[in-house]
Structure 1
Amino acid sequence: MRQSKAYDLSLKDSRVTVNPSAAFSGPTSRDDASYAVNQRQMAQLLTQLNQIVLDKPQVVKLALSCVLAGGHLLLQDLPGMGKTTLAQGLAQLLGLTFNRVQFTNDMLPADILGMSIYNQHTQSFEFRKGAIFTQLLLADEINRSSPKTQSALLEAMEEGQVTQDGQSYPLPKPFFVIATQNPMQQAGVYPLPESQLDRFLMCLSLGYPSAAAERELLRGRDRRELLAGLDAVLDTQAVQLARQGVQQVYVADVVLDYLQRLVAKTRMSQEYHGLSPRGVLALQRAAQAHAYVSGHQEVSPEDIQAVFAAVADHRLGQRFMPLPVIGGQPAPTIAQRIINEVAVIV
């Protein structure tokens, strides 16, 4: 039976400082070559993404963790914050085929999924595949389309397939959706239903850049030029192997105890519904991916804290993340308050 490592936990406001195990440097007795094959490249991926999206290292790390966990990502922020740039950078560096769909209020589901067209030569209907048949789909400004069009993505995100006229068509593997949405205070937007939000493993917000990062944007090269010069660090096979590696990251019972205490806390409120079992599984998978990207073989409480807000807030009714203000800090989100209230060890 495997022995869990000893954690050095220093409690402060119910948060934790962890001394994790050393970064992974080679295969272990688990025969997990999939774990080793990409660890040497994680630093390169993060470095190049951080050169494209400036001053947001934690958001970039979480976005990469989300994709390697096999989940879909929702980026919500004001227009022009770099959401599309981050999505395009991920697609290029991971070597994935990429399609972008600009959602509008007059878009129909067939515009994304495809449609059956009558072929006069064969005298039969043929299915013409839509933009969704790609490995990474950028659903840009998804909340500008009607609920009917939004719901067209549900089957694809959950089952990895599209059904039209009673016929199912498998999507390429791996398949990811990165969606962007604008604040609800803006004109012409429709709120995403809870069932749609629950399909996204993480929800992230970039926020404003620092003054130094903004100066670099003003003086540096155009982001589109930098994107055009990116070379793939991984390919489809390597991404699949990395996803297998994420699943092999060990989670000790003491860490699962902490995870379940956080989940139990979400279910004690009368203001919102707590995390569902699917949300709990998403939290564990995201923590494993965060540990994997960090080069660790085992999930620590720090990994759970790092991903908890990204996984939980949009499931707990936090419709839009508060933006930082000059001279102050944004109000803590629901998940951040829960982390501060739940002890790491009891």
Structure 2
Amino acid sequence: MASVASPSSIAVEAFAKRFGGEKPRVFRAPGRVNLIGEHTDYNLGFVLPIAIDKASYVAVAPNREGVLRVWSENLGEQREWPIAAVGGLKPSKDWSDYVVGVAQQLLAAGFTLQPSDLAIYSTVPVGSGLSSSAALEVSVALALLGGRVLPPLELARLCQRAEREFVGMPCGIMDQYISIFGREGAAVKIDCRTLENQIVRLPAGAAVVAVNTMVKHELGASAYRDRVRECAEAARAMGVESLRDATLDRLEGARGQITEVVYRRARHVITEDDRVNAFLAASARGDCGEMGRLFVASHRSLQHDYEVSCEELDFLVDTA
């Protein structure tokens, strides 16, 4: 039986076919599943993601042509820019914006960019909610750094800025953070205000199974920005910095100042933060039944209060 090529070797082979030259170095960054704590990161709340075995791989080596060349093996597309021009590039509204955004943030952080060839291969399905963009950003940043040291938290913030400022997506920091701080066999609780983390081992015998609904989500074309705006509106009405500081009592007190839609958005975030902490407590005592009930409660809140579910996902939860 023929052996199956590893993702890393696929990236190296793609590099050799496209660019030739010296053998490249390969850098990897994983995607993620968020167990619980949905849409709380940009509200400075708590999240509990776990890194997965699907990842973005970047094979990289210097070139002598004075350019930054990037090949996407998944898409069969190449982009090329003079290295001196990278700092002044504008968004192209395609996958290359993630590469350019990271490169510009590295320049802003004081790093020089070496003329380089990059071949990218990812096993993270695009549009599946597994953070393919964050995996791409982190792997590209590591490749362009080429071994130069950037503290992990600064790297996460840099990649987040690339997505917020160049790609134009007002994302939280969870996806980039877990791609860097993730540990095999463990979830990571992230406090999105302090950016402190806690490694969380799930109960013995518990397994995380991610099911693909086959529904593509387009974050940039979705109502994501509307949710960010609605949460900020609720926080202002309650006089708090973010919904991390809100309570249900305080929300009830401000109900007359906001629309019913904004009220429901805030209710989801406030109760979701509580569910994250309840999930951790249930995990610590090995109560898988309660963990499952909290998963379902989280989904119902996302379905009815935050309105970010879909028919296929509802079906999976209903029949699980």
Give the shorter-chain TM-score range: 0.3 to 0.5
Higher RCO (CA-CA < 8 Å; seq separation 6+)? 1
Higher helix share: 2
Higher strand share: 2
Give TM-score, length-normalised by structure 1: 0.31
Give TM-score, length-normalised by structure 2: 0.33
